[in-house]
Amino acid sequence: GEDVEQSLFLSVREGDSSVINCTYTDSSSTYLYWYKQEPGAGLQLLTYIFSNMDMKQDQRLTVLLNKKDKHLSLRIADTQTGDSAIYFCAENKNSGYALNFGKGTSLLVTP
């Protein structure tokens, strides 16, 4: 199948904003998700956006959705060292219950 695309690495300084980008494949996806995975752990659901929204804000997290370009981004304000992790975007597949995941973006936050 087609791939959800993400850049592999991002490095930011503590206190700066991080922006993680994702290009998804299915224009009919109803929901788009961001997950966080800390080393050696499972995936934790961070936030999601419904496809009829352009933006969603949740504390330090801002999700932007551009349906025309099938582009999703996650902005983390005031990034902390505890935000260092792998971030996955995911779309619901056109049929069935499964999600289609990107390969993940490793975020490194340096002091």
Partner 1 sequence: DVKVTQSSRYLVKRTGEKVFLECVQDMDHENMFWYRQDPGLGLRLIYFSYDVKMKEKGDIPEGYSVSREKKERFSLILESASTNQTSMYLCASSRPDRYEQYFGPGTRLTVT
Count Cα neighbours of 98 within 13 Å in the Cβ-side half-sphere: 5
Tell the smallest beta-carbon distance from residue 20 to partner 1 (Å).
14
Distance, CA of 79 to CA of 109 (rounded, Å): 7
Distance, CA of 89 to CA of 33 (rounded, Å): 5
Cβ closest to partner 1, residue 1 vs residue 82: 1
Cβ closest to partner 1, residue 9 vs residue 15: 9
- In order of 30, 38, 62, the CA distances from 45 in angstroms are 17, 12, 14
3 state SS of 100: strand
Tell the smallest beta-carbon distance from residue 15 to partner 1 (Å).
30
Residues in contact with partner 1 by the rule CB under 8 A: 1, 30-31, 33, 35, 40-45, 48, 88, 92, 96-99, 101-104
Cβ closest to partner 1, residue 31 vs residue 78: 31
Tell the smallest beta-carbon distance from residue 7 to partner 1 (Å).
13
Q: How many CB atoms lie within 10 A of CB 100?
A: 18
* Token code pair at residue 42: 């499972």
Tell the smallest beta-carbon distance from residue 16 to partner 1 (Å).
26
Cβ closest to partner 1, residue 52 vs residue 111: 52
